Chain A
Amino acid sequence: MKTRPIVGRAKAGNRSSLASDEITSPGDAVDQDSVADQDSAVVTIDVAELSAEHADLLARFTGEVGADAVIESGVAGRELVVRIEPAAWVSAALACKTKLGFDYLGFVAGIDWLPTPAAGGDDAEGDTSAPVQPKDMTFGVAGSAGRFQVFARVGSTKVARYGITLKADLKESAPHIDSWFSVYPGADWHERECWEMYGFIFDGHPSLRHLYLPHEFEGFPLRKDFPLLAREVKPWPGLVNVEAMPGVDDEEGGD
């Protein structure tokens, strides 16, 4: 994959309400000159170098949260992914927001690592429309201890041009985790959504009510074992439906 240079913004001090920093292509000499004239530093980072920056961020994160809270880390795209102890879920958010400058809440969501059941593939009754996913449970970046995981992304409007994704494992029998509501008030709706879709319980959330679904809805739709009824009430029209000729074996003729 070709690495494309990323051009960062100029120093924050140069900002005014109406004028903004110019974005320039580093390959374009003319543009670079014009930027130099405006006396604003252009930071150029290569994607390959980004890992060093990630390492630095991870070190700072570990320093704030504590080494025993960090289980595993990895990189997904440009994002740093860190799996932390569920007990440190809120303190990690607090550290991100107050110490590391991640003031912006991206999302809070859940993952169910259970392999996609039957639907799709050759096992399904003729229906090969759904993509065939691996049958064994594998985990993504930064791993997982079991089936359920909650993951959340925080970003920054100021310091970094990428975010940090935090993951925490939940017990399958009792998926409890502390709420981020006190740190990021925007987590309110995200946690309500996550609760109704996965059944994760966010302790300390002011009102864990249904957000999208009707109040009497039962079940957790985004769990992998919850069937998609639209795909089950109707037979798949993609089955080969060509009547063979009587008495002739199904062999293509031709010249």
Chain B
Amino acid sequence: MASFRNSIQGMQKGLGVTLKTMLKPAVTVHYPHEKEEVTARARGVIALQEENCTVCMLCARSCPDWCIYIEGHKEKRPARREGGRERTVSVLDRFDIDYALCMYCGICVEVCPFDALHWSPEYEYSEFSIASLLHDMEKLGEWEATVPEIEPLELGAEVKKAKK
């Protein structure tokens, strides 16, 4: 009999929690209708600032998954100063990231010496087939607009010298 009473008490407790939670606002988000807020640091997608890229291949080389494909060609550019020599620059022809392979580790963003790659918290780029997850330069460039500002750091963080 005591165990029966215990069971009833257990059930009451459970239902009590249910009732309490029912009166609180829902924590879930109805996704397509409302979007969840993503933190600024979230590694959603890699955006490319094309002008900064010098086709040095560092990102493609350090990628653990071999998912970055880069091609480029050389071009003459007029001198920056009057009387200077003509410059030869490497121009990007192709910069593809295969998001089907990408592990979102961020090594490419970190190794880039010219700040051409950035993390964007954007996450809505699902596709119906794996092959269409290979995104090209233009698409990566569009994401550049969604890259957030750098957040301030917590108290006690070391003040970094301004970036060169």
Contacts and interface: CB of A to CB of B under 8 A. Distances in A.
Interface stretch (B81-89, B120-128, B141-149): B81-89
Contacts of B60: 237-238
A12 B73 CA distance: 71
A242 B66 contact: no
Interface residues of A, number: 20
A243 B75 CA distance: 10
Interface in A97-148: 128-129
Given A234-B66, A240-B57, A242-B90, A253 B85 contact: yes
Interface string A213-249: 0000000000000000000001011111111110010
B70 interface: yes
Contacts of A234: 66
Contact of B79 (A129, A238, A255): A255
B61 A252 contact: no
Most chain-B Cβ atoms within 10 A of its Cβ — which of A129, A237, A252, A254? A237
A253 B78 CA distance: 10
A251 interface: yes
A234 B88 CA distance: 32
B80 interface: yes
Nearest to A239: B57
B81 A245 contact: no
Contacts of A237: 60, 63, 66-70
Contact of B72 (A236, A241, A248, A253): A241
A238 B57 contact: yes
B85 A255 contact: yes
Nearest to A231: B66
Given A129-B61, A238-B57, A253 B70 contact: no
A30 to B, nearest CB: 23
B72 A242 contact: yes
A255 B81 contact: yes
B76 interface: yes
